[in-house]
Amino acid sequence: MSLGACAALFGVTLSAAPIPLSPIPWQEPAPLARLFLQQPFEAPQPDAGISLQILSANILLRGGRAGGFQYSVDEETASFAFTGQLVLGERLGLSLTVPLVVQYGGWMDPLIAGVEQLLNDESIRRGSKSFRTVVRFSAANGRVLEQLGPAASFGDLTLGAHWWLVTQDGFRPALAIRGALKAPTGGPLVGSGTWDVGAGVLAGWEAGFFAAHVAFDVAVPSGRFEALDLSTRPYGSIQVGFGFRTSDTFVLHLQGSGHTSPVLVADAPAFSVTDYYVLAGAEWQLAPGATLALSGVENVFSPGRGADFSVLLGLRLVHSPMERNW
């Protein structure tokens, strides 16, 4: 078969299976908050398959009170989340996520510093050194949690369940509920040391080239954050996303999210506020069932708690036994 014929056959195959409009599975990388359970952004219909999400997040934070809780974070984290999903019947999905967290100097320091110094003469990045890996949290009771220099470790395992309740019918969106359990298998600065339980509601609506998705989740840690003897509390997130299919193989994504904090720190109120992110990205279908996504995520309104800027690269290999029929 000629090269031209192969290319034509490949194009016909892709056009017969247009790229899905599922949202980018974003999870916030804020220090301490990222140690606790987070459920990724998903569509209501569960899909069987495997995925790898690589999140590179640049963080520079300093604050606290003398004699009380103090923190200094200057690092980049590369979080690798390996997720396997299976579908039982047509509506029940089960998943297992294994995270690997790498703390290192990163590559985004000069880029972010240049932008911030142009826009803000009082940026805390002015005069700071690039490519450092320095993380230190100290509590009034003398407990210290720190990491100096690069490190890599597996984080807490998460088991999830996803039940598709309602299919889309006209203007009525598809609905699903989900739950998750996080086990304390990770070490300091990659796991919370707590068993966390979470539940959420997913909604999605598609019309041709356009899709809108919403996810609302809450979670409860099982006890105190013992590494620093901090109180924990129920926390949650809301995520809203829009997908625009520009061709059978290409989708543009725009998403926004808000996240409350699982820890309460009286001496560092910035760690207890809600933080907000805006994600913009694109996803390309390499072959039917295989997509590659690249996204940039900006922290808005809450620079004192979350990551300054994040880059998310995701590979999804999905097998859908049936067409989406929302």
In the chain the domains, ranked by start, together with CATH numbers, are 21-319 (2.40.160.40)
Separation CA 91–CA 159 (nearest Å): 17
Q: Two tokens at 268?
A: 């560092």
Query: Interior CA angle at 231 toward 42 and 226, to 5°?
Result: 90
118-132 average pLDDT score? 62
Residue 123's closest CA among 303, 305, 311? 303
Is the confidence at residue 119, as pLDDT, over 60? no
Q: Provide φ and ψ at 173, rounded to 5°.
A: -75, 160
The pLDDT-based confidence of 9 (bands split at 50, 70, 90) is very low
Confidence at 63, pLDDT banded by 50, 70, 90: confident
Residue 56 has pLDDT above 60, yes or no: yes
- Helix or strand holding residue 55 (H, E): strand 48-64
> Per-residue pLDDT tens for 221-263?
999 999 888 889 999 999 999 999 999 999 999 999 999 999 9
Spatial CA neighbour of 219 closest among 176, 274, 262, 178: 262
Is residue 113 very low, low, confident or very high in pLDDT (cuts 50, 70, 90)? low
- 121: which residues sit within 8 A by CB, 6+ positions away? none
Q: How far apart are the first and last CA of the chain?
A: 39
Closest CA to 76 of 122, 119, 25, 111: 111
Residue type, 205: W
Task: Give residue 162's identity as a one-letter amino acid code.
Answer: H
Which residues, 6+ apart, have CB-to-CB distance to 79 below 8 Å? 29, 34, 53, 54, 55, 57, 99, 100, 101, 102, 155
List for the chain the helix, strand, coil content (%; round to 5).
10, 50, 40
- Give the pLDDT confidence score for residue 71 in this predicted structure: 86
Q: For the whole model, what pTM was predicted? A: 0.86
Over residues 18-26, mean pLDDT: 93
**Among the residues of the chain, which ranges form H helices?**
3-16, 109-119
C-alpha distances in Å from residue 121, one per residue of 99, 112, 114, 130: 37, 14, 11, 18
For residue 237, count other CB atoms closer than 10 A to its CB: 24
Instruction: Give the per-residue pLDDT at 253.
Output: 98
Q: Which of 100-114, 177-191, 312-326 has the highest mean pLDDT?
A: 177-191
